[in-house]
Chains A and B, each alone.
Chain A
Amino acid sequence: NAGVMQNPRHLVRRRGQEARLRCSPMKGHSHVYWYRQLPEEGLKFMVYLQKENIIDESGMPKERFSAEFPKEGPSILRIQQVVRGDSAAYFCASSPRESSYNEQFFGPGTRLTVL
């Protein structure tokens, strides 16, 4: 059973470009979470999705950031018109159910660098 997959592992963008980060949850998991980790900091929650639904986006910046988890295919975190401050590691996690006891399984992360 493959773990959570994220791609690309490294992404370089120039200011003003768009960044698309992909996350494929573990097989059988229908809950996806996105986190952002700035250098020397812990992970900060961004958004929680189930298939075709955004359940909680309280951690998402109000502008330029969006996320989706379509019926088919991976979850996508999109950042439009990137700025240097968006440079960070973005982690995706998945779980089989909503129960908060369930462990969230993390992917390897995507390191975004904005030039």
Chain B
Amino acid sequence: AQTVTQSQPEMSVQEAETVTLSCTYDTSESDYYLFWYKQPPSRQMILVIRQEAYKQQNATENRFSVNFQKAAKSFSLKISDSQLGDAAMYFCAYRSTHNNDMRFGAGTRLTVKP
């Protein structure tokens, strides 16, 4: 079964600085999808960025980018120019092409210091 590991329960960053959140996963499949979700205090799950495993190019969405290392099964999220509104729980998620559920990591709580 696929598992997703986020080894950083908490991270903090100074406003306007850059922070990287780590995620590793375990799978025997070659084709799959990876996601980062943000969960602010409102608890709403918001998609931040996604990556298709067959694409070598790292996904980028404005200040958010990923470092996808398929061989290492690593999918880290980089947040540039951090803003106070970025403070939230961040969840890494894996979705196979063969089943219907998303596997989530335990999350990383990001604090942004003014």
A residues sitting closer than 8 Å to B (CB atoms) are 33, 35, 40-45, 48, 55-56, 58-59, 89, 91, 93, 98, 100-101, 103-104, 106, 108-109, 111
Contacts and interface: CB of A to CB of B under 8 A. Distances in A.
A109 B44 CA distance: 7
Interface in B12-61: 32-33, 35, 37, 42-47, 50, 52
B100 A101 contact: no
Interface of B: 4, 6, 32-33, 35, 37, 42-47, 50, 52, 91, 93, 95-97, 99-107
Contacts of B103: 45
Given A101-B33, A108-B43, A43 B102 contact: yes
Nearest to B103: A45
A73 to B, nearest CB: 22
A89 B42 CA distance: 12
24 contacts: A42-B4, A42-B91, A42-B93, A42-B104, A43-B45, A43-B91, A43-B93, A43-B102, A55-B100, A56-B101, A58-B101, A59-B101, A93-B45, A98-B100, A100-B33, A104-B102, A106-B37, A106-B44, A106-B46, A108-B42, A108-B43, A109-B43, A109-B45, A111-B43
